[in-house]
Amino acid sequence: MGKRIITVDDASTMRRLVGYTLRGVGHEVIEAEDGVDALRVLGKERVDLVITDVNMPNMDGIELVRRLRALPHFKLTPILLLTTESDPEKKRQGKEAGATGWITKPFQPDQLVAAVSKVTAS
């Protein structure tokens, strides 16, 4: 059964690519353009997984992870960081904030699908 996933990225082309990949294997995908937009959307919507970029205007992905982890219904929701960022310090910050995993862009569709299946397996 497909999962409900939000993809958060300031690049619309990346949101479309993630959405296309995940819809193709049966998931429902909603989109947000940055952390602020994601918090607004997630105030009304429930999801099984959050996939977010790290470097975005208004609120970056690491701050989004921190804020989501502070909310009771997001304490256990898997959160993947999907980013071009490869700095070990950023990875450490993401992990400390509560991110479940890290995928580097550009990604292979099979790699993304496998990561989503792994973190959403129930």
Q: Per-residue pLDDT tens for 70-110?
A: 999 999 999 999 988 888 898 999 999 999 999 999 999 99
Domains defined for the chain, CATH in brackets: 4-120 (3.40.50.2300)
pTM of the model: 0.96
Rounded to an integer, the average pLDDT of 55-82 is: 96
pLDDT attached to residue 85: 81
Q: What is the per-residue DSSP string for the chain?
A: -PPEEEEE-S-HHHHHHHHHHHHTTT-EEEEESSHHHHHHHHTT---SEEEE-SS-SSS-HHHHHHHHHTSGGGSSS-EEEEES---HHHHHHHHHHT-SEEEESS--HHHHHHHHHHHH--
Q: Per-residue pLDDT tens for 27-42?
A: 999 999 999 999 999 9
